[in-house]
Amino acid sequence: MDEQRSLKVLFLPQPGVDPTWQREVVAAVDPRHDLRIYDHGAPLESQFADVEAVIDTGGSVGTKAMLDAAPNVRFWQILGTGIDKFDMAYWRDRGIMVSNCPGPMSAIALAEHALLLTLMVIRRVPESQANLARGVLYQPLTPELPGKTLCLVGFGASAREFSIRAKAMGMKVIATDLFPVDAPTMAKWGADRVVAADELDSLLPEADVVSLHLHLNAETRHTLDARRIALMKEGSIVVNVARGALVDEDALVAAVASGHLGGGGIDVFSQEPPARDSAILNTPGIITTPHTAGVTDGTARRRAEGAAHNIELIAADLEPIDRVDRL
């Protein structure tokens, strides 16, 4: 590694995010390479002119204009998992290698947050807080998790981490996945049953909690729509820490408002940020957080280290890992 040349790398920070993300990237990349930080207020042409690799926070900062201004760029690292906000076709047409930071780098954070939202909804935390503010004690009486059934829609890294935590809480875990999951893998991650993705309808009536763990694309948009929500058990809840548009938000709001569903724990939204007066933010029983499920120190460190490893591979004229431009 010491004999490899230093690359000119540009980091694209996302305005408003915690500075920890930038500090971790600097710590992981700067000792070996010429790392610069993009200035959103300065002309982009001079900033991109000699750049060879870009690290793009979340894949949502980079624009076509930036790529057009970067004649020497060979590699674009997305510092996130999802690529639904990234114009992959444009980068692919330019022949630029693109990698992301796959699920295992944020799986623990997402699983912890999914469990947090599950507990907050089931234990009716906002109602408890309101009662305390009014001087009312001992209300509400709420269910416990042991014996409840968790349905994981998708059985990738974050779902598996959620599965072992739910199992430790005494829950039964059922799941769907695009690929067959063998018995040893199910046992390792605490799942009782994993079926094909197209068998989701058969699991929904069993579930007390349905949690989404999918990438967003044309096929997965509104995976949980009004028809499938109607199949869910009365009083069950929806948890989403993946992508907002996996759930039909209007159908979710209607089902919670009608009492068919017991509530929802939502960290991601079809429109981000959602309008302050949107129903998803203002329906009793739906607890929301500001897309913070993956925003942890561990996720920031692991993603920065993954990006730095790919920069090293590019510097050595080797293939980067976790390429998504070929998908």
Q: Among all residues, which ones are annotated catalytic?
A: 243, 272, 291
β-partners of residue 11 are 37, 55
Q: Is 46 exposed, middle or buried (0-12, 13-18, 19+ CB in 10 A)?
A: exposed
Cβ atoms < 10 Å from Cβ of 172:
19
Nearby residues of 88 by Cβ (< 8 Å), 6 or more positions away: 98, 324, 325, 327
Q: Is the dihedral of CA 260, 244, 291, 103 positive or negative?
A: positive
Give the three-class secondary structure for 39: coil
Number of H helices, E strands in the chain: 13, 12
On whether the CB atoms of residues 282 and 140 are closer than 8 A, the answer is no
Q: Is the N-terminal amide bond of 284 cis, ω within 30° of 0?
A: no
Pick from 64, 71, 58: nearest CA to 11: 58
Place of tokens 């929802």: 264
β-partners of residue 10 are 36, 54
Q: How far apart are CA 325 and CA 76, in angstroms?
A: 10
Q: How far apart are CA 122 and CA 306, in angstroms?
A: 36
Q: How far apart are CA 39 and CA 12, in angstroms?
A: 8
DSSP 126-174: HHHHHHHHTT--S------STT-EEEEES-SHHHHHHHHHHHHTT-EEE
